[in-house]
Amino acid sequence: MTQAAHVLIVDDNRTSRMVAAKALRQLGCTSAEVGSGEEALELLKRASFDLVLLDIEMPGMDGIEVLRQLRASGQRLAAPVLVISGHGGNTDVVVSAIELGATDFLSKPFDPTLFRARVMSSIENKRLRDAELDNLKQIDRLSEAAMIMESGRFHPASLYLDSVAARPDAIGRLASVFMEMAHQVYDRELSMQRNIRTLNGAGLLLLQGVLWGLIVPLSILIYRENTMTLGVTFWSNMVAGVLCCAWAVGSGKSLRVSFQEFTFLLIWAAVFGLSSIVLFEAAGHVSGIVMSIILALQGFAVFTIAAAMRIEAPSLRRFAGLGVGLIGVLALLLVREQVTGVDDWMWLLIAMLVPILYGAIDILLAVKHPPTLDTIVSSGLVLVLSALLVLPLALVQGHAFLLGASLSVSDLLVALTGVCVGFCTVLYIRLIALAGAVFASQCAYAITVAGIAWSVLLLNEALSLWTGVALLLIISGLALVGPKREAGNVEVEFRRKARSMPVPSPAE
Amino acid sequence: MIDPRALERLMETLGGDPADLADIIESFLEEGPTLLASMQQAMAAGDGGMLKRAAHSLKSNARDLGAEKLASMCQAVESGIKQGDDGQEHVAAVAAILVEWEGVAPALVGEMKRLGRSA
């Protein structure tokens, strides 16, 4: 026996308790003594014993009643009970004691050999049963872990099998094999999830690039017709905002937001309004291709801010990707600057404000966008808010005009820009939620490529061979940065394979 | 008066240490008079249940220690009492038990001395 067995002696007679205690000590057991059935029940509630020696005949609550109450309370299973009957005692009483859950009986005076045999075997059985119960508990945990896996989403740490797997027995081996397999499934599913995320992210990103890239040549076309940029900013954002709000209301969403959410939207609207003004103003002074190229700086801005704020993990590979992308942008600028496109270097610097402001919005959205706020609702509200913020400036500067009053080409272009801006804003929030701010900022590259393509198509700007080479560099940079890496603790889905049983052929 | 085989058996149950056996005898010599007193009390009060319990206890200890005659006398009283009895028909038996105790007690004291314990 590893640890001394602890026995409870229940007998109203002091001398009898003393005999039992000394006899048990002789067998290497420790003991506690109580003089009545009531005390025994009380003590059994608080302490655990390996065996109970229970005198049947006691004044007040007798041994039979103790057994009956133990049985009723469910404590009976906790320790084996040996009932003690007087010499030549009533056999019926012993039988009913055993029927009530007693393990065996001892008659007084004790026969030394029988006493030793019954006490030791009762304790041995109890320990074996405890070990079995423990095994069953471990098996329960294993099957719970299996149920967690089967029920769907899981993380290996949430299976809580480490302590089971550490056991040196067969159950421990089973648990460690199970854990190993759970880890393999987890790793496989995680990489699959990442691939799907990358694919979805890339799709959204290209769509975003194509649409947002269109805004650059559109704003240049607008500037050719209408130089009231503050009015243009107001209308394009208002059209976009009203469109998104209508979309939100149409799909049954409420435009109601909390004060905290409103504050967040107001900050976002202010930054976005400013970026819109700069974009529409710069459109008058920088060519479509150059503007598109400048927008690619957004990736650099976001990655730098994100790395500084430790929002996403900076890695050598991601820095390299960014570097390659930037080299592409610089090459494009060098090639373009020898030709036409910029009438003033000041405007080039002002235009660079746009990607920096976009970068700030990226981070703001990634860190602060309330998850409860619907993306279409927040897009709609932020666009309307940014339009309203620009309105007083437009009025003061005399840039206010009524959209649609003259049905001019420029009005049509402003409305079209608004539609693009609305779509892009919704898409962009979704992209950040899906792939993270750094990856989302890579849409700047897609915007650049698309912007150049649109500029060639719509503005008849020329695309040189060098421009093409530089674009290739930008795209490889995008691939290197990749989508955001999770911080761990991501659950994966466990899918069971449907197995078909082979049907044995009758010939075999 | 005292069956030496019973004492040997008890000694073996206790693990063979004479001091332990002496402890048990000492305890019985202390508890015995209390049990006898409660038997007399039960007779006076006409409480059959109390008489039965005291007789049972005394019987049990007496048998452990080899006082076989005392044990048998107590057992006769114990099993003679039915539910609701006032125990009055056992007056003579209880008196005989008291007399028997007067013989058993000094014999047990002698055993204690033999085991190396002064009374």
What does the alpha-carbon distance between residue A67 and residue A50 come to, in Å, rounded to a whole number? 16
| Continuous segment of H or E residues that includes residue B108 | helix B91-114
* CA A436, chain centre distance (Å): 14
B46-99: pLDDT as tens digits: 899 999 999 999 999 999 999 999 999 999 999 888 877 887 888 899 999 999
CB contact (8 A) between residue A112 and residue B9? yes
Contacts of A439 (CB under 8 A, 6+ apart): A201, A205, A431, A481, A482, A483, A484
Tokens of A443: 């849409």
Q: Please, are residues A103 and A122 in contact by the beta-carbon 8 Å criterion?
A: yes
Of A14, A57, A109, the CB nearest to B64: A109
| Beta-strand runs (E) in A4-162 | 6-10, 30-34, 51-55, 81-85, 104-107, 153-154
Q: Torsion over CA of A173, A177, A178 and A180, rounded to 10 degrees? A: 140
Rounded CA-CA distance B39/B23 in Å is 24
* Helices A443-459 and A170-225, packing angle to 10 deg: 30
Confidence of residue A489 (pLDDT cuts 50, 70, 90): very low
Asked if B53's CB is within 8 angstroms of A109's CB, the reply is no
**Predicted pLDDT of residue A508:** 39
Place of tokens 């890496």: A485
* B15: closest chain A residue by CA: A26
Please judge whether A22 and B14 are an interchain contact, meaning their C-beta atoms are less than 8 angstroms apart.
yes
What digits encode the pLDDT tens for the residues B107-117? 999 999 998 87
Structure tokens at A68: 């009956």
SS3 A135: helix
Residue in this structure with the two tokens 């004060």, named with its chain if needed: A259
> And the tokens for A16?
């009898």
Q: Are B65 and B30 in contact (CB under 8 A)?
A: no
Residues of B in contact with A115 (CB under 8 A): 13
CB contacts, 8 Å: A112 with chain B: 9, 12-13
Instruction: Return the minimum-mean-pLDDT range out of A9-18, A391-400, B46-55.
Output: A391-400
Best of A12, A15, A62 to mutate (most B CBs within 10 Å, chain B): A15
- Phi then psi dihedrals of residue A6, to 5 deg: -110, 125
Mean pLDDT of A29-40: 95
Of the partner residues B15, B59, B63, the one whose CB lies closest to the CB of residue A26 = B15
* A to B CB pairs, distance under 8 Å: 61
**A435 band by pLDDT with thresholds 50, 70 and 90:** confident
* Cβ contact A321:A479 at 8 Å: yes
Considering only CB atoms, which chain A residues are within 8 Å of B15?
A: 22-23, 25-26
